[in-house]
Amino acid sequence: MTTEPPIVRLTDLRLDRGGRSVLRGINLSVPRGSIVAVLGPSGSGKSTLLSALTGELAPAAGTVEVFGQKVPQDQRELLELRKGIGVLLQGNGLLTDLTAAENVALPLRAHTRLPKALIQRLVLMKLHAVGLHAAADAFPRELSGGMARRVALARALALDPPLMIYDEPLTGLDPIASGVVMSLVRRLNDTLGLTSIVVTHHVHETLPVADHAIVIANGGIVFSGTPGELERSQDPLVRQFLLGEPDGPIGFDAAPRTTTEAA
């Protein structure tokens, strides 16, 4: 086995927001080709963690490495890095007056100088990859929620990013559409040779496609292991989260218990 560096490596990471420590002591290694589920209650810091990967939020302590390199501070280097990270955010962010194909073409128009005909072919390939080849000329309002999410996914894939980041990809989708989107996440990951990080509180839809899961609560990682290990975990924090119980070791506002830092 070769000792390839992980696609993402977080070392003793601390992230602060508004002068408050949101996450601390975060260590995580994401191997190439894997899908990691990042689970945890609302406000626990899942989106904050993602913002450190894209360099939107600089670490208060520790390091964030993506593709074997420390996430740069320099804006130009940061833009280069971000081309390698496909991001699918909670809202689809589709432009309503553009067709599905035009939406998917946006990143290609913005970041490449490819001729129009080639862009059109690439766009159709991306739409084909999410099973929406036939919907190329449809406007977002003509698509179901699940279809619109898949168009947004095709757009996130437009520049062939080796790393995909999903923040709550299932919000607003029914169980069937959720299943379609999650199996698509797995299939794209494997056929395109990607690495994926999926932030979600949809535990039961996400675990079946994940290789590794972490649970964030009370300002840190309270579980890290395989989905099977997560389901068997007897940790009270993990049980409370998995069963969705309001009372337990996770505070209802899910704010980290310690707000002062002995930096």
- Residues at the interface with ligand ATP (CB under 6 A): 17-18, 22, 40, 42-48, 201, 255
Closer to ligand ATP by CB, 23 or 108: give it: 23
Tokens at 8, concatenated: 């993402």
Closer to ligand ATP by CB, 46 or 126: give it: 46
Please identify the residue of the shown chain whose CB is closest to the bound Mg ion: 47
Separation of CA 127 from chain center: 20
Instruction: Indicate which of Mg ion, ligand ATP, none lies near residue 42 (CB less than 5 to 8 Å, by partner kind).
Output: ligand ATP
Q: One symbol per residue from 2 to 41: x for binding Mg ion (CB under 5 A), - otherwise; what is it?
A: ----------------------------------------
Contacts of 20 (CB under 8 A, 6+ apart): 256, 259
Separation of CA 115 from chain center: 31
Instruction: Indicate which of ligand ATP, Mg ion, none lies near residue 19 (CB less than 5 to 8 Å, by partner kind).
Output: none
Q: Least distance (Å) from ligand ATP to the CB of residue 57?
A: 8
Q: Least distance (Å) from Mg ion to the CB of residue 46?
A: 5
Half-sphere CA count of 130, side-chain side, radius 13 A: 28
The C-alpha atoms of residue 47 and residue 20 are separated, in whole angstroms, by 15
Closer to ligand ATP by CB, 189 or 200: give it: 200
Closer to Mg ion by CB, 47 or 240: give it: 47
User: Distances from the Cα of 73 to the Cαs of 83, 87, 163, 253, in angstroms?
Assistant: 15, 19, 19, 32
> Which of 24, 8, 10, 16 has the alpha carbon at shortest distance from 58?
16
Q: Residue 47 interacts with Mg ion (CB under 5 A)?
A: yes
Q: What are the residues binding Mg ion (CB under 5 A)?
A: 46-47
